[in-house]
Structure 1
Amino acid sequence: MRFTSGWMTLLFCFCCQQLLAQKLTIRSPNNKIVVGLHSIDNGGWILKSSYHVNGKLTEVIPEVKLGLKRSDQDFSSGLRFLKNSKTLPISENYSSPHGKSSSRSNSANEVTIAFENQAKAKINLIVRAYNDGFTFRYEFPGKGGSYIVEDELTSYTIPKDTKRWMEKWNPANEGLYAAMSDDKVQKQEWCYPALFQTRDTTCWYLLHEADLNRTYCGTKLSNTADQDKYKLTFPNPADGRGQGSSKPTITLPWKSPWRVIIMGSLQDIVASTLVDDVSAPSTVKNTDWIKPGLVSWNYWSSNHGTKDYKIVTDFADLAAEMNWPYTLLDWEWDAMSNGGNVEDAAKYILSKGVKPLIWYNSGGDHTWVSSTPKDRMLNHENRVAEFTKLKKMGFVGVKIDFFESEKQDMIKYYLDILEDAAKFEMMVYFHGCLVPRGWSRTYPHLMTYEGVRGAEWYNNGPEFTFSAPEHNTILPFTRNVVGAMDYTPVTFTNSQFPHITSYGHELALGILFESGLQHMADRPEGYRELPDFVKSFLKTVPPAWDETRLLDGYPGKDVTIARRKGKTWYVAGINAEGREKRKMLKLPFLEKGIKYKVNLIADGQHDKKFSVRSLEVDNSASVEVKLLRRGGFVATLTPTN
């Protein structure tokens, strides 16, 4: 092809414009992830991201638009680049008492970019490139003055042919994920986190936010204005029964939450702790009292179970039999009868060597739910009084429900609860709530969140019976990536609506789904009637992990995950599809030169039967496993020496 001199001049000018448009580049420590800052028309700025692996370059997000609108000034256009800092290496190691891994590394390269708007007001953009993604946040460096943030202009441009798994926005974050691409992409408001697969299929990314605190509100994603652009959007004014402002008020100096893009292979996504890594360090100095564990829970099998003292004591007996450290008194404990009240129940539970947990309505005008006890968590004075009583009675944790909003006043409420609970060494878990934003690093006594369509939905209608198998294989790649998830798994009997998952599938959920307090939801006879080898497994399965690895899987089809506790590996896999599968379980993650004993519990002849076998392997071995339609398996791998 021949170029005329005119074409050569145009090409030269275009290349110069491109060079001028790109101001700087930030690379991850391993150079796989590259983030570029570019100028666009009217003094606007965007980020572009790419992924480099095995000599291949993938454009991941072609445009992340930047900007904020404050009540006094606009910081979305007309921004003049002032300077950028030198690259600052971020290097920090920390530990977590529960979660997908116990030892964490917060390692990144950080650059701060300074801008000013047309009125000479300053705004900074802080960008970090990690080996498993990148993050950015806004900063107003000025001092003094309070302002309303009218809008955040951050948006992600996603090409139509990018496959995505997204959950339609709902305040409880309890929807189903829909897979979409091309002409099936819907225009909606969407929950975090959202999963995307790039067109070359090797690179994936997950959109989320972290380190949300009292200075801002939670956001969500919306492509209602432009199908290809997912804009960060403030809470709906009607959320929380219209209580509180949907627009946050900030006081300078101020930093926004981190905007988080976890990026890489599916294994990188599943193993990532990036949401915690960028969040504020722990405010709790002594964490010895924070004890993850399994919990017996009566609500799934008997919605009004806590009203009945005899049901409560039966679940306490179950916890003692199964070596589970906790049992939960759910709603209606203040109306308990049939042999005892809440004080009697606490004494009985403690006499069994089990520790009690207890439920509360979050109270206040933000929820329509009138279930009592209500308002006891609503303000500092009430919380102090209630925690004082609970401590004397032997309770060690509280479940607080029905928040129904992510407005700034509700974020403050969440964090006030956590700070007061820490003073009484009281573990906390939230229900009817937002999805994790990294708070379990800052407040490690926050053990788990709901924010998921879990097994409770077998009580809400027939739909979950048929959607659960596929849904269960999407959650390890989406919701459970960003933090603990109280799905309330491992149910073998039926509640109000039946399962079509196999017993092997249900057993696997106790490993696949990570939660610092893992609520085992079946009725006592559901566990007591299991074969002894299954009961033995459930008596020893850990609630927290030292390491997590994805071995195989694809959202909506199947998933196999390995988690290590000490020197023992626990592996679990499930099949969502309506056909039998055979999997070759490869074991290169095992320590070289060591023999391991494998105890494998898999699907049996039909979906209510198990098969069991033991064998010896090393890291070069492969183990064939049969999964029934909608089936599953678990395995423990223990060093023989």
Structure 2
Amino acid sequence: MLAFLPPSSCCLTCSLARWFTVYTALAVVIYGSPAFGHTLQSPDGRIKVRVGLQDDSSPSRLAYSVFYNEEELIRNSQLALVRSDGVTVGAHLERVSIGDVEAHDSTWRPAYGERSIVRDCFNSRPFRYQDTKAKCSFVVDFRCYDSGVAFRITLNASESSQVIEIAKENTQFCFPADHTAWCTSQPQGTYTARKLSTIDKLVERPLTIKVDHDRYLAIAEAGLVDYPALRLDRSKEDSCTLVISLHGGARRAGSLQTPWRVLMIADSAGGLLENNDLLLNLNEPCAISDTSWIRPGKVLREISLTTEGAKACIDFAVANNIQFVEFDAGWYGNEYSDASDATTITVDPKPSAGPLDLTWVIRYAEQRGIGVILYVNRRALERQLDEILPLYQEWGVAGIKFGFVNTGSQKWTTWLHEAVRKAAEHELMVDVHDDYRPTGYSRTYPNLMTQEGVKGDEATPTSRQAITTLFTRNLAGAADHTICYFERRVERNWTHGHQLAKAVCTYSPWQFLYWYDSPLSFEQDGVRSRSRIVETPELELFAKVPTVWDETKVLRGEIGQYAVIARRSGDDWFLGAMNNKQPRELEVPLNFLEKEQQYHARVYRDDSTIDTLTNIRIEGQLVEADESFDIRLESHGGQAVWLTPTSRLAQDVQVQPDSLSSSHSQLQD
């Protein structure tokens, strides 16, 4: 510091002036603007946000910067909205007040999730301004977590009856360098790794960005309920700046609030996934007083649309610890026809000749503890929602799978979340298919079990895509990946070990298994195009694996290359490892296990030398927390491991240690 002092011959005033010049220059280098005098930091102090007016510009705009361990991640990025009349709200700001920093630290228990206890710990600070030209207040609430930063804008009109109508949102994310991002332009699209400067289409959120080998960031959205969804576009002024692009405008009387704009920050791609409850924390607490009727589980899709096929699915579900059977498109007629009536059981003759006695099937399933889910296309949902919800409750239906819903605009975003709330009133769970991507609403209404918004197995993603999805789309929450097993695409594109691992790695409270497979024999069904479920030994893993968890850890992983994820349910741990084209061997530490406890590891791995339909070898070994586990992964392959404490295993009458080592002795080394 002394090196910056002027010569002693200068007067004190000159010294102070020169020192202030140096200090100001340093502030610009470090913080992007000398006006950034207001700071908010995370509870652990590693993440810092600096917020302030750009007083050196005319007019005055609000901007923010984000730092992680003093490294600048987001630089001098503006916040503004554009009204439908063309006036920019946030361009002529005068400060009203800067609120005090408030600390919050609590925990809550979700109805289900990737972890049984969620900690909600952050520091917050409101920044209040008045836009002198737009004649409305401009309030930005910032929250700083150990795992990221979130902010939202609230506009308040001068009168409660006055309508605020927004055409655009000009929120910026300015990066100091040309980082790599994993982009897709469609909710169910293919991801490609691109430099920020080469993004030439609107891209979906979450958008995962690699800042450095030990620094990852994702731009996400949380608390989207009645506002247009965001996508991201590259700025025309700066190739390393992204700006929000809304699916149309938004309007509200009196006050308009954006959803939370979120920056997830971690030292690894796996760290982003481990801390994705940040999006849940930014949603309202559960609004359902009694959630006892909300039930996660595995789902078998019934595709014959016949009474015989339905009975076979229910019997298979009972025998294999599957909790639900879902009846897909065609049970009430052609799903694409506005004339089809979802209050009737009218099988579409194109996919099925029937007959289907659905009311009998629902009773048969209920007597055996199996829930029935009915698929309904958006055409019937939009016309008949208020009619079918009480009817399905009367029938004893467990839930509805929404098909081809409209998404994006404020109108359809509002409609969809209202439909979820209405379903809750009738104790019906929901799976939203096609383009919907979650933003944490399942915390508020946990009857929203899962959703698609992902290029799942029915679209045959490459192994690289499936692994990329874990660290991109899955940051937003549950993904209905429609896992296949016996269908031919598995052998053509992946391995059966890859599919077993996917049931662990891909989180979905309703996990669909055997997407294209039928328990009916060809003699029963007569449809040659269907694949058949064969009772291979490794199906015990699908029967045992849970769909919700007490704890989740990403042990190793690189986007698009490989992933090793461990999840705990009670005393048991399940480990899934997925690989891309390059064969590899990985050493995985087991320090997540309970110390001074021995575990039996039941391993399901690819082995082309095993003479079975699926080429899965099953073997067992004893392991402890201070050891490492060697995983060998074939090209496009995978491996699953079921770890059980030997102290409990010895008392488990259903799975004795002896049976674990001998039940499939022909498969052992």
TM-superposed CA distance for 1:179, in Å, is 0.6
User: Aligned residue for 1:26?
Assistant: 40
Matched, 1:561 2:565: yes
TM-superposed CA distance for 1:490, in Å, is 4.1
User: Aligned residue for 2:89?
Assistant: 75
Which has the larger displacement, 200-209 or 130-139? 200-209
Kindly provide the CA deviation profile for residues 3-42 of structure 1, in whole angstroms up to 9, marking residues without a partner as x.
Answer: 9889957535534777741121110011111111143322
Instruction: Summarize the alignment of residues 188-587 of structure 1 with structure 2, pairs less than 5 Å apart.
Output: 188-198=201-211, 200-214=212-226, 216-223=227-234, 225-226=236-237, 227-235=239-247, 246-265=248-267, 266-272=269-275, 273-298=277-302, 305-334=303-332, 335-336=346-347, 337-363=353-379, 374=380, 377-378=381-382, 382-458=384-460, 464=461, 468-494=462-488, 499-520=492-513, 521-524=515-518, 528-532=533-537, 534-577=538-581, 579-587=582-590
In structure 1, what is the Cα distance between the partners aligned to 2:27 and 2:249?
41
Cα distance change, pair 531–491 in 1 and its aligned pair in 2 (3 A): closer
Cα distance change, pair 490–220 in 1 and its aligned pair in 2 (3 A): same
Helix, strand or coil for the counterpart of 1:444? coil
Is the Cα–Cα contact under 8 Å of residues 76 and 153 in structure 1 kept in the other structure?
no
In structure 2, what is the Cα distance between the partners aligned to 1:338 and 1:414?
32
Cα distance change, pair 386–288 in 1 and its aligned pair in 2 (3 A): same
In structure 2, what is the Cα distance between the partners aligned to 1:110 and 1:67?
20
Is the Cα–Cα contact under 8 Å of residues 150 and 260 in structure 2 kept in the other structure?
yes
Amino acid aligned to 2:547: P
Of residues 124, 139, 145 in structure 2, which corresponds to 1:130?
A: 145
Among the aligned pairs, what percent are the same residue? Answer: 22
Kindly provide the CA deviation profile for residues 242-298 of structure 1, in whole angstroms up to 9, marking residues without a partner as x.
Answer: xxxx21102223322110111112332011201110111111011111000000014
Of residues 155, 168, 188 in structure 2, which corresponds to 1:140?
A: 155
In structure 1, what is the Cα distance between the partners aligned to 2:72 and 2:453?
31
Task: Indicate the structure (1 or 2) with the bigger Cα radius of gyration.
Answer: 2
Q: How many residues were matched structurally?
A: 590
Instruction: Summarize the alignment of residues 79-94 of structure 1 with structure 2, pairs less than 5 Å apart.
Output: 79-94=93-108
Matched, 1:118 2:125: no
Kindly provide the CA deviation profile for residues 193-225 of structure 1, in whole angstroms up to 9, marking residues without a partner as x.
Answer: 100011x321111111111122x2111111163
In structure 2, what is the Cα distance between the partners aligned to 1:12 and 1:134?
27
User: Aligned residue for 2:61?
Assistant: 44
Helix, strand or coil for the counterpart of 2:314? helix
Instruction: Summarize the alignment of residues 157-176 of structure 1 with structure 2, pairs less than 5 Å apart.
Output: 157-168=174-185, 170=186, 173-176=187-190
Cα distance change, pair 540–16 in 1 and its aligned pair in 2 (3 A): closer
Is the Cα–Cα contact under 8 Å of residues 136 and 156 in structure 2 kept in the other structure?
no
Of residues 593, 596, 620 in structure 2, which corresponds to 1:593?
A: 596
In structure 2, what is the Cα distance between the partners aligned to 1:393 and 1:386?
10
Is the Cα–Cα contact under 8 Å of residues 24 and 34 in structure 2 kept in the other structure?
no
TM-superposed CA distance for 1:89, in Å, is 1.1
In structure 2, what is the Cα distance between the partners aligned to 1:95 and 1:527?
40
Kindly provide the CA deviation profile for residues 592-627 of structure 1, in whole angstroms up to 9, marking residues without a partner as x.
Answer: 222211111111136941122212221111111211
Amino acid aligned to 1:195: T
TM-superposed CA distance for 1:522, in Å, is 4.2
Question: Which 4+ runs in 1 deviate beyond 6 A?
Answer: 1-7, 16-19
In structure 2, what is the Cα distance between the partners aligned to 1:329 and 1:154?
43
Cα distance change, pair 606–476 in 1 and its aligned pair in 2 (3 A): farther
In structure 2, what is the Cα distance between the partners aligned to 1:64 and 1:136?
13
Of residues 118, 141, 145 in structure 2, which corresponds to 1:104?
A: 118
Is the Cα–Cα contact under 8 Å of residues 124 and 144 in structure 2 kept in the other structure?
yes
Helix, strand or coil for the counterpart of 2:71? strand
Of residues 635, 641, 646 in structure 2, which corresponds to 1:635?
A: 641
In structure 2, what is the Cα distance between the partners aligned to 1:293 and 1:261?
31
User: Aligned residue for 1:368?
Assistant: none
Is the Cα–Cα contact under 8 Å of residues 73 and 176 in structure 2 kept in the other structure?
no
Amino acid aligned to 1:615: Q
TM-superposed CA distance for 1:498, in Å, is 6.0
In structure 2, what is the Cα distance between the partners aligned to 1:69 and 1:92?
36
Cα distance change, pair 192–21 in 1 and its aligned pair in 2 (3 A): same
Amino acid aligned to 2:259: P
TM-superposed CA distance for 1:493, in Å, is 2.5
Cα distance change, pair 445–475 in 1 and its aligned pair in 2 (3 A): same
Is the Cα–Cα contact under 8 Å of residues 127 and 137 in structure 1 kept in the other structure?
yes
Cα distance change, pair 126–473 in 1 and its aligned pair in 2 (3 A): same
Helix, strand or coil for the counterpart of 2:493? coil
TM-superposed CA distance for 1:187, in Å, is 1.4
Kindly provide the CA deviation profile for residues 455-511 of structure 1, in whole angstroms up to 9, marking residues without a partner as x.
Answer: 1114xxxxx4xxx2001111111111211100111423226x963211100111111
Is the Cα–Cα contact under 8 Å of residues 99 and 483 in structure 1 kept in the other structure?
no
Amino acid aligned to 1:627: L
In structure 1, what is the Cα distance between the partners aligned to 2:416 and 2:510?
18
Kindly provide the CA deviation profile for residues 152-178 of structure 1, in whole angstroms up to 9, marking residues without a partner as x.
Answer: 11021234531111111x3xx110111
User: Aligned residue for 2:166?
Assistant: 149
In structure 2, what is the Cα distance between the partners aligned to 1:615 and 1:333?
47
Helix, strand or coil for the counterpart of 1:504? helix
Runs of 5+ consecutive residues of structure 2 not aligned to the other structure: 8-13, 333-345, 348-352, 520-530, 648-669
TM-score by length of 1: 0.87
User: Aligned residue for 2:657?
Assistant: none
